[in-house]
Every structure is written in structure tokens, then in C-alpha cells.
Structure 1
Amino acid sequence: MTTRQPLAVGLLGTGRMGSFHAETLSHRLPGVRLAALADPVPGAAQRLGDRLGCPKATTDVGELLRDPDIDAVVIVTPARTHAGLVEAAAQAGKAVYCEKPMAVTLAEADRAITAAAKAGVPLQVGFNRRYDPGFRAAHDKIATGGIGTPQLLRSLTRDPKLADPARIPPWTIFLETLIHDFDTLRYLNPGAVAVEVFAMADALIRPDFKAGGLLDTAVVTIRFDNGAIATAEASFQAVYGYDVRGEVLGSAGMLTVGDIRRSHLTAYGPDGVAAECVTYDQDLFRDAYVAELADFTDAVRSGRTPSVTGEDARAALSIALAAVESVTTSGPVRISDLEHP
């Protein structure tokens, strides 16, 4: 798309994850510079820009998108704003990296994908587990037949602590948390298509918020068109740490991936055996977060298709929306029924 050096990237959203991505764009990627920041919260972009030496900071997203010096944008805003910003960025001629989920409805996803295709700009979505060395090695082994045909798959995400329940939108556990697991299961079952979903979810951590739409614990069963059966599991409160793991049983073997330990150190003492656990996603997936932006900026410079596309995001969203429908109806949902209700 562009051969300009260094590649000028603007970032939308300067919260916790946005700040990490901004640091990566500023300091961790050769040939890339953080050219501008935008956040509607007064002072937020300016404070981060001052810390990182970013020359432009604004509360006006449109101002950043209109900047002719910006080659690409990284979207790290609240989930319900993603699809509209992808459209706007693509229409402005910017390459787009968007954190998950890219959209929260299939119609939004289709508009975002169409906008990027029409503008001829790359669109990549932030499914970071694809960039973790363990998950990538598992994918590669499965894709080359290393464990035969996948038959049973499992992916789980357990957060260490429930955030403020009053600030969690309905269906977040499917649309923003398990969306990672749905993509992971697709990644670990290469070429297969999810066809049917059955989900159960409840408010077991904070039942007093269930009436407001909070679900904090969920299990989802997914059937793929190659016959494989998968489960995805999430909890918003695993008191021991941030726990992300996967497992694939195939006709010729099994793979497991994921480790909650901060390091391979294990302490043996009078009180038993102990290991320090990760409690923060940016610790567990630090290198993966950097690698996905490195991959995106390389795709922008080289003109190749990004490794994780808008279509991948749409496929994971289809599973998430089927899970929402399954919980609502207390029954299995065929994903094709979402396309043609």
C-alpha cells in the first residue's frame, strides 16, 4: 500500500490496551512511528502523547482520519464503536487494524469488510492468540496433519477479577471475551466451518447484576462441518490468575497449549509447591501483542493481505451471536439461521 518510511500510524483510543499499542508503535517496531493519537476524553490523548513524544494529539477522531500524513490507524476504542470507525478509516484511505470484536452485528461486520474492500485498504483484526508461539505451533502442527483429524477441541479464558459489573454491557462474555476462544477454535481446526452452537451462561460471581444483563460464567459447545466438537469456556473471576489454555484431541494424538505461570520457576518449601501466576493479559500475551502489530505494519508496507482478516472476525462473531441466541432460546442454534432468519 505504501513504501513511505517510517510508516505513520495513528491510534484511536488511549485506554489500557490503547496505551500498550501506542508504546509498541513508538518504541518496539522499526520503521514505524506513532504519528497521532485521538481520544474523546479531554486530555487523555495529550497526556499519552506527551509521555511518548507523539507530535499530534486530539479529541477529534475525524481530525486524525483526515490527516493526509497518516498511512494507517489502530482502533482501540470501546467495542460498540469499532465497526463505524473501521468504515470511516477505510473511507479515508487508511489501512486499518481493529481490536476485537470488529463488530457486534453481522450487518456491521459486512459494512466494515465492504468498506475496506471498496477502498482497497488492508483490514486486520486483533486476535492475539494467533501470534502466541504456543498457539501458533499448535496450529502449524494440526495444519500439517501432526495429530490426524481434529475431533475434540477446547479453549478457555478465565479473567482474574471481575471488573465493575455496572460498566459491563450485556453479552460481553460472548462478544468481547469468548470471541477470542471462538477464533482460537477456528484457528486450531484449520479450514473447518462452525455450523451449530449451544450455550449456557449465568451470573455466578455477581448474581445481583443478572437482572441488568450481566452474565459472568459461560460454556459454549460448537459443532464444525468436519465433525469436530469444541467447547469454549469463560469466567470473569479466577482468583488464582489470568488463565488461557487450549486443547485439541485428534485421531493421531493430542496437543495442549497455554500456561498461567509467570515463568517456569516452581518453588518447593515447607508450605508445599508454588508457582507465581500471571494476573494480567499484557504479561501473558506481551510478545503476541507486539507481533500482531508488526505483522499488520508489514502487511501495509508490502501490500499483502493481513494474516487475520475481517472475514475471520465475522466468522468468530457468527459463533458469538449464535451463542447469544442459544442462551436466549435455551436451545441449539444453527449458524446458517443467523444469515437467513
Structure 2
Amino acid sequence: MKKEIGVCVIGSGRAGMIHAVNFRRNVPHATLVAMVDPIESVAKQAAESLGVDTYYTDYKEALKNDSIDAVIVVTPTIYHRDIVVAAAEAGKHIFCEKPMAMNATECDEMIAAARKNNVKLQIGFMRRFNDSFIQAKEEIEAGAIGDVVLVRSLTRGPSVPQPWMYDLAKSNGPLAEVNSHDIDTLNWFVESDMESVYAIAGNFRCPEARQDFPDFYDNVVLTARFANQQQGMIDGAVSVKYGYDSRVEILGTEGVIFIGQVHEKTIVTANRQGLSRPVMNSWRTLYSSAYLAEDTHFIECILEDKEPKVTGHDGKKAVMVVNAGNLSIKERKEIFLSSLQS
């Protein structure tokens, strides 16, 4: 058994660089071997900034490198299936960022490829590795709030979407790009499969997308009914301007749990202009320790030959909800997940 795992990060954008820095400096028993990006200048700059000698513009070339034992897939969602299947066939362990894929069929193909080639497949739901989320899960299991009745989760981001995200055929929209974490949060805390969803959405802040992408939405609300009749609500938004906002409320029969706040710090300044308090401005700040924890867990799963805490099955469940939610928006009706390909 190898004692050091060679890692290649495929995708050198914001999230890719978070993982790359972790594997370069902070994850025990991991060595960052190479970076990949289809834009050569981006790949080269990423590698140089990390002190890594090797970079590629084609992930298929990276998969031929025998010093690479595992890949981190951080590309637009439309490419996930092909990269993951190719990596599995090359015998590389795989960490795939959310959303896992575009549809359930792609998820099944990714899961099958990993199983056939005996490699690990972990999905990037880093909130499961956040201390507050972990404690909330423990309190739920201990009966601190009785039986869970409703889980409400919201994510609102300040950033304007990347141009490719406007095309729902390539991104599956904000329900996938932003709210996959919220969907997984509901699934994790409720511990039951979603039976049906109803979603409404609109484009209120991104006028540049309206002409070419009339189905793009920057604000979405989704309600869910679970098989055990528990309830869920998701609130998602992009380009909100005021900051990064991630909060959860878990209502039980005997109490409630709150996770998260808008504010980054507890300091409050008062002067003639009024009260001011720093607002959380980035998911990279809020979940930095969770990213490190999930990256560390991935390497541990490889070295100890154990199942990741977040599997391809978890990723598929979230993708199916995204697809059902987008169909609900389009058809303006409740969608039963059983009606979708599973």
C-alpha cells in the first residue's frame, strides 16, 4: 500500500484552487502532482503559483501519468461524467465536486465505472464536514429536538454567474450550481428520500441573460415532501450583492436547531452613521475548514480502503432533485421523483 497519494486537480478555477492548495500544503500523505485546465495560461499560472512542475491542458494526458493516483474534478458539470469515467478506467481514485452530473443516467455510469475499476468515488458536499453541521446531525440523532418535521436551507451568493452557467443545458441552473448543497443538507438531516418537489423561479438580477437564455433564473424557491412525510424548503439566489449567506433551520417536534448567520464576525461598530457589522463575503471563507476536512477524508479513504462518507449515491439523489425542480419550474406543477429515470 502506498503511503503517499499523488493528486491531480482537473480545473484551475476558484474551487479548484482551494482543493489544490489543500493538497499542496495541508493534507497529510498527499502530494499535488499536476494541474489541468483547457486554457494553457491558466493551467501554467496555477501550477507556478503552487510550486508544481507539471500542468496539462488535456485531462486525458494527465491520466497517463503513473505518478497520479487520484484526481479532483472541478470543471463545469457537463464534463463531469466523461472525466470521471475516464479517470476510473485509468485506475485513478476520484473526488468529484458537486453537482455530480447532469442527470441520473450519467451518475449511474460514473458509479458503475468506479465500482468496476475498484476506485474510490467521493462527491464534494463539504457541508457534511463542517463542525456545526456535524454537531447538528449528532443532536438530531440524540433526539435533542424530537422527530425532525421540517428542514429549511438557504444559500445566496453575491457573485454574478459565469457566462456558461446561464445555459441550463450546460449547468442545470442555480438549483445545481448553488443549491446542490442545500439539497444534500435536507437529504442528510431528514434521512429519507424526497418523494416530490414543487419549485418556482425567476430572473430578477441578471438582465444580460434574458435575451439569449430566457429560462435562466437567479432566484428559486423549492418545497419538498419526503417519503416519510417530513418537509423541506430551499431558498436559492445568485448575484444578491449583500454577501454570502448560508443558513439552515431544523424544526422538530420538541425544538429547533439553527445553523449559520449572515455575519462573518461578532464585532459591531456604532458611530454617527449607525451600527455596522462585517458580513460574510465568500463561501471560500465560511467553509475553508470543511474543504480541508473533506480533502483529508478522501485521502484517508484511499489509504485505509474505506467507503467515503459522501458517495456517488448521495450525489445522484441531489441531481435527481435538481432535475425534478427544473422540470417543476418549467411545467409549473408538483413533480414526483418516481416519474423521473432513477
Whether TM-score is above 0.5 comes out as: yes
Matched, 1:69 2:67: yes
Map residues 42-81 of structure 1 onto 2, 5 A cutoff: 42-81=40-79
Determine which of 286, 289, 309 is the counterpart of 2:288: 286
Alignment partner of 1:119 out of 117, 120, 125? 117
Match of 1:196 in 2: 196
Q: 1:22 aligns with which of 8, 20, 38?
A: 20
Measured after TM superposition, the shift of residue 272 of structure 1 is 2.7
- Structure 1 segment 161-172 matched on structure 2, within 5 A: 161-163=159-161, 168-170=166-168, 171-172=172-173
Written as runs of structure 1 = structure 2, the 5 A alignment for 1:1-341 is 3-163=1-161, 168-170=166-168, 171-189=172-190, 191-207=191-207, 209-211=209-211, 212=213, 213-339=215-341
2:96 is paired with a residue whose SS is: strand
Measure the CA separation in 1 of the matches of 2:11 and 2:149: 40
- CA distance, structure 2, for counterparts of residue 272 and residue 192 of structure 1: 46
Alignment partners' CA distance in 1, 2:165 and 2:329: 21
Alpha-carbon RMSD: 1.5
Amino acid at match of 2:260: G
Query: What letter is aligned with 2:179?
Result: L
Deviation at 1:69, TM superposition (A): 1.6
Contact kept? 2:165, 2:173, Cα under 8 Å: no
Once the two structures are superposed, what CA deviation does each residue of 1:163-189 show, in whole Å capped at 9, x if it has no partner?
Answer: 355752224111211111101111121
Unmatched tracts of structure 2, length 5 or more? none
Which whole-Å CA distance do the structure 1 matches of 2:20 and 2:46 have between them? 8
The aligned amino acid for 1:195 is E
Task: Give the whole-Å Cα distance in 1 for the aligned partners of 2:260 and 2:165.
Answer: 29
One-letter amino acid matched to 1:192: S
Q: 1:286 to 1:197 in 2, by over 3 A?
A: same
Aligned length in residues: 337
Select between 27-36 and 47-56 the one with higher mean Cα deviation. 47-56
Q: Partners of 2:162 and 2:28 in 1: how far apart?
A: 38
1:208 is displaced (CA, Å) by 5.7
Distance 1:227 1:167, change over 3 A: closer
Q: Any conservation in 2 of the 1:202–1:210 contact (CA below 8 Å)? A: no
Cα distance, 1:99–1:167 mapped onto 2, change above 3 Å: closer
Return 35-44 or 205-214, whichever deviates more.
205-214
Distance across 2 between alignment mates of 1:105 and 1:25? 29
* Secondary structure in 1 matching 2:210: helix
Matches of 1:100 and 1:291, distance apart in 2: 16
